[in-house]
């Protein structure tokens, strides 16, 4: 039994949840999110709450039960308050700036890296912090991860792009290792 799937998901005021044609649609003040439903899972909207249940008694239905409950919960949360991921840029000469619907990163390469910002995501740059926000948690996380992958933090000086609050383990350099020996 899924502990997450058993619990009803409350729908806050100002949010509309509908299920039709194998698709769940959640509308709120931050936008509209859609997700197709797997036939092994049934979703019912009743009396201000969403209930997710397995439609079959198969192993796959039990596995997807809690997953779809979490997806619906994230969709409801996302259309009311957008999800935010903050990236911190560290390094001398490393910086980011917005130019229209593009994020321009100067990360020590011979050229600036230009990234198109997908529809449904908002990016803001303030000093060395890049804030990625949007209603879809998967889209926000995927875009933030793709930006971080351009220049991951390196282990000797810590230069690169990291999530805010991420701890980067630093290695000893050659001088420190030789002095210890």
> Quick one: fold of 3-80?
Outer Surface Protein A; domain 3 (3.90.930)
Alpha-carbon gap, residue 112 to 122, rounded angstroms: 21
- Extract the tokens encoding 51: 């209930």
Percentage of the chain modeled with pLDDT above 90: 77
| Distance between start and end Cα atoms, the chain | 56
- Domains 3-80 and 83-163 are alike in CATH topology: yes
Confidence band, pLDDT 50/70/90 cuts, at residue 173: confident
Kindly report the CATH number that applies to the domain delimited by 83-163. Answer: 3.90.930.12
Domain ranges of the chain: 3-80, 83-163
Confidence band, pLDDT 50/70/90 cuts, at residue 176: low
pTM score over 0.75: yes
Q: What's the mean pLDDT in 151-180?
A: 86
**Residue 102 DSSP code:** E
Residue 10 has pLDDT above 90, yes or no: yes
Residues sharing a CB contact under 8 Å with residue 56, sequence separation 6 or more, in sequence order: 40
- Extract the tokens encoding 66: 């809690």
Neighbour tally for 5: CB within 10 Å: 20
Residue 159 has pLDDT above 90, yes or no: yes
Alpha-carbon gap, residue 105 to 109, rounded angstroms: 10
Residue appearing with tokens 């490393």 = 94
Residue 164 has pLDDT above 70, yes or no: yes
What pLDDT is recorded for position 23?
Answer: 94
Cα 124 to chain centroid distance, Å, stands at: 15
């Amino acid at each position: 039994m899924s502990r997450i799937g058993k619990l009803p998901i409350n729908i806050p005021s100002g949010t509309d949840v509908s299920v039709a044609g194998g698709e769940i649609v959640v509308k709120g003040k931050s936008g509209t999110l859609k997700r197709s439903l797997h036939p092994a899972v049934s979703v019912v909207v009743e009396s201000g709450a969403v209930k997710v249940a397995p439609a079959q008694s198969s192993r796959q239905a039990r596995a997807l039960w809690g997953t779809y409950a979490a997806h619906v919960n994230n969709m409801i949360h996302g259309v009311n308050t957008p999800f935010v991921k903050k990236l911190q840029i560290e390094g001398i000469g490393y910086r980011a700036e917005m130019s229209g619907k593009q994020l321009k990163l100067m990360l020590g390469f011979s050229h600036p890296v230009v990234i198109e910002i997908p529809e449904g995501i908002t990016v803001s740059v303030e000093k060395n912090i890049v804030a990625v926000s949007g209603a879809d948690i998967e889209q926000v996380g995927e875009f933030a991860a793709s930006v971080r992958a351009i220049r991951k933090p390196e282990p000797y000086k810590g230069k690169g792009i990291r999530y805010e609050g991420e701890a980067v383990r630093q290695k000893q350099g050659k001088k420190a290792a030789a002095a210890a020996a």
